[in-house]
Structure 1
């Protein structure tokens, strides 16, 4: 696995790769301390960067936690044939910066290019990818979620004027997006419709912030909706599902 690929989630439509960058510098797995559960369902990578910046990337499987299903005919008395998400994988990036640090980027996208369409929702920025009866959705927070995290203290108060609902330039991809990174801010991790990327502003001293990405897939008549609901997680819920201890 190339060192810039921090995690790889195998899906029925191909490999989804997780990458990240801090202050314009992509993270490399070879520079991290890595731990993994015995069943390999969860991993953790830790970096200690200049300025006492600590970066932690957790990945975990959530399929046993989610149990998301959707009916192909939800209006029928028996709710028709139910389709469950068959796989749900999450990545949670946590950056703690006592002295502050530059912009944070996180991206989840297919290793081999595959075009997807936007499937956004409330608090959710997502792309969906389909082949036959199989649906894969890649998703994470949107500007509304980020603005709320400023208000509840999860994000720095300094970001209040930067992360505004329905206006914040936090999620980027290609055309059809509801929120985006403007062209004058070039993401180090690139732009493509094969996934979703996020960029947060420079982190002020003393702050700790999270970014997350979730990949889910389902097969069957209700696959699109089952996978879509299965990516709708908060960073706090992902952290509670993880078992590897802080270092």
Structure 2
């Protein structure tokens, strides 16, 4: 690729960014929907699999009852005169404990089912909103005069800006090569962010938050737009 061809490609990308910038609010909307979708799915999984509170309550109650029963038995051995009264207390304690456990289990089951139902409904609404916005953006993409320049899932203005930087820095001579580098850089950036999260507690990081955020948002946009099933 000679200098003039590179400038022509950079200008084409610049024009594409200006065009798709007009729909930036819709792009931001599906990115926010995706982040909310991930959050709700995490909450749903927690509600289904990590509902450990009733178990803790049950163990605690059994511990209290067993401790009480042991104390009762010790007292019974020491005094035969209070056998009848203490036996009644022990029976009441056992029955009461069992009823409390059953009550807590029923309440927890009701609350968990309600939470799961609510989260499932929210997930459905978010998914519908995300796909609707994606279809609207795809229609807008089809109206672009130079849509052969780049695939739909890379039409997010932030992604186009990254592709522009890659070509402008002479790291790629075509959109295809730039996209391949985009994928590689995105994966590497993700790994670096994971490592950064591990080291964050021990030292101050030099990487700017804005740079990491730009890559994260662009990668999310590519993933979401790539999910659209086109006829």
Which TM-score bucket, shorter chain as reference? Answer: under 0.3
Using CA pairs below 8 Å that are at least 6 residues apart, which structure has the higher relative contact order?
2
Higher strand share: 1
- Calculate the TM-score normalised by the size of structure 2: 0.21
Pick the structure with more helix per residue.
2
Q: Look at both structures and tell me which one has the larger radius of gyration over its CA atoms.
A: 2
